[in-house]
Amino acid sequence: MVEADPPFVGLNNYIKILWTPEFWEEVKLTIIWTGSNLGLIIPIGVLIALLLNQEYKGKSFFRTWTLLPWMFPIVVTTLMWRWMLYPVSGVINHILKQIGMITAPIEFLSDSSIAMFTVVLVNTWRWTPFVAIVILGTLQTIPKDIYEAATVDGAGIFQKFFYITLPHILPSVIINSFILMLWLFNMFPPIWLLTQGGPSRATMTLAISIYKKGFQIFRMSEAATLSIILLIILSITTWLYFKFVGGKWGRLND
Amino acid sequence: MINRDAKKRKFILKFGIYLGLGLISLIYVFPIYWVFVTSISGFKELMFEPPKVFPNAPTIEHYIYVISSSKYLIFLKNSLFVSILVSILTLIMSVCFAYALSNVRFYGKYFLSKTILMVYFFPGILLIIPLFQMAQKVGLYDNLISVVIVNILMTLPFSIWTLKLYFDDIPKEISEAAKIDGCSRFDILYRIFLPLVLPGLATVAIYSFVVSWNDYLFPAVLISDIDHQTLAVGIAGWTSSYSINWGQIAAASIMTIIPIVIFFASVGKLFIKGLTGGAVKG
């Protein structure tokens, strides 16, 4: 599996990879994957957190059980969606057909123009509850009397949101977006279990590429090279974060 | 007039809240309900008939097959072995580590606490090549012990960090008073600190159990013999056969999530508290 006595090649592996168009295609897909996931998960998560933070019956029930989908094995939730998204026997296509939105079944996972979109939506389904619960935790630390004082002073719903709620949760939103971004960048199971990087490389992110190179075509040195490149990208991102958003970083540590 | 307006607005707000909650519930409950329906539908009904809200002839054939004729029970045994070992070892190690970070002065503490966070941020796929080669070199390839070790590596950062926040909350005066009364360091940890941070301990135990129970990547890479495989990878493997029987996969899925639901029903509140506690203080 591993080359018995591999020769020392200096930086040749890096040069070789950086010159292939496939690599840049994978970088582009990884950025699309991470960006669109973040763009969906964070706003929807914050919205759900705001909703859960209201007063309603069954409050404590909802505030606890929202996290449950996130605790399910990723294999279970992902395979479940794969089954529901089947073109002919899948329930999603069936429902869409019944309500007259489509005439021919949509190939959610085998049409290369929408496969990435589908995988992102399935992953959003899984991660939004996590973000919602964490942001809800922050929302609950805002003292109630601030809102009461604002009401007395005649502030409306939107004013309260932009001048009280948002400034309070912003640091938490930023740090959680950052951590989630790092996780998304090298997230492996959801894409692998839905499309294995296909159809025709439409969902081939760097993480999938590393796994494929290492454990399917057994080119360990290429996979290791890609890992190091990924590590460098993530390190630079982290460094930039330290440098420009650094003040909030301290809040995470202590 | 103003009163009536306020009432109207309140009504609309309430209506919006319940509508939103209903919508979210539907989006999250429906897929789980659908797995259940699939698990009790016959094979023919699944493959050749349009989907139905409830099967015409509910059957438990898939459950019987999965338990008696598949490797489900072997996977279950392996998964339990990994998850229980991981949560016990994570608990012991993170308590010691967090206590040291919170209460002991030593050289390189700052560097160490930063390094731990790095592992938390860069998990999984980046480490897979070296871990695979190391496991082969030390003879732990295809051995569940390697999965246990790697999972501990993954669960420790969050666990240490969570417990450290809990330990930091305990007033220094308590441990100083105990020291004056002649308590050893171990006694302080065991008799004073641990009873005070029970929610934190529960959070760490649940977190590490669930993470290792759900882990897909590491068993997939580190285990080759199907008899040593865990539930996650084992069930996923059923999709690579020529004809996929989704009824069996659904039945196995339902049986795999039931422990988590029970777990969650009993200590979920405590876990949420511990999880959001980090965000509150952090």
Domains of chain A: 12-76+127-253 (1.10.3720.10)
Cβ atoms of residues B114 and B101 within 8 Å: no
The residue among A2, A79, A131 with the most chain B CBs within 10 A of its CB, best to mutate, is A79
Residue A199: cis peptide before it, omega within 30 degrees of 0: yes
Helix (H) or strand (E) holding B217: helix B217-222
The pLDDT of residue B282 is above 80? no
* Cβ–Cβ below 8 Å for B28 and A48: no
Say if residue A4's pLDDT is above 70: no
pLDDT in tens, A139-196: 888 888 888 888 888 888 888 888 888 888 888 888 888 889 988 988 888 999 998 8
pLDDT greater at residue A254 or residue A80: A80
Task: Indicate the residue of A63, A80, A207 with minimum beta-carbon distance to B35.
Answer: A80
Q: Is the pLDDT of residue A90 over 80?
A: yes
Residues of B in contact with A84 (CB under 8 A): 31, 34
The whole-chain average pLDDT of chain B stands at 84
Q: Which DSSP string corresponds to chain A? A: ---SSPPP-TTHHHHHHHT-HHHHHHHHHHHHHHHHHHHHHHHHHHHHHHHHTS--TTHHHHHHHTTHHHHS-HHHHHHHHHHHT-TTT-HHHHHHHHTTS-SSPP-TTT-TTTHHHHHHHHHHHHHHHHHHHHHHHHHTTS-HHHHHHHHHTT--HHHHIIIIIHHHHHHHHHHHHHHHHHHHHT--HHHHHHTTT-STTTT--HHHHHHHHHHTS--HHHHHHHHHHHHHHHHHHHHHHHHHHHHHHHHHH-
Q: For residue A83, give the nearest of B38, B50, B217 by CB distance.
A: B38
Widest pairwise Cα distance in chain B: 80
- pLDDT over 70 percentage in chain B: 95
Two tokens, residue B158: 């969050």
pLDDT of residue B75: 92
Return the CATH superfamily for domain B70-231+259-281. Answer: MetI-like (1.10.3720.10)
Amino acid at A28: K
Amino acid A250: pLDDT: 43
Cβ-based contacts of A249 with chain B (< 8 Å)? none
Instruction: Work out the pLDDT band at A2, boundaries 50, 70, 90.
Output: low
Q: Which residues make Cβ contacts (< 8 Å) with residue B23, sequence separation at least 6?
A: none
Q: Do A77 and B31 touch (CB under 8 A)?
A: yes
Residues of B in contact with A176 (CB under 8 A): 279
Residue of B nearest to A1 (CA): B133
Of B32, B61, B29, residue with least CA distance to B45:
B61
pLDDT of residue A251: 47
Listed by start position, the domains of chain B span: 2-39, 70-231+259-281
In this prediction, residues B127-137 reach a mean pLDDT of 88
Closest-CA distance of chain A to residue B182, Å:
30
Q: Name the amino acid, one letter, at B228.
A: H
pLDDT attached to residue A42:
95
Output the CA torsion sign for A65, A66, A67, A68.
positive
Cβ–Cβ below 8 Å for A84 and B31: yes
- Express each pLDDT in B71-93 by its tens digit: 889 999 999 999 999 999 999 99
**Tokens matching residue A226:** 């890609």
* pLDDT band at residue B62 under the 50/70/90 scheme: confident
Q: Write out pLDDT tens, residues B25-55.
A: 889 889 999 999 888 888 777 777 777 777 7
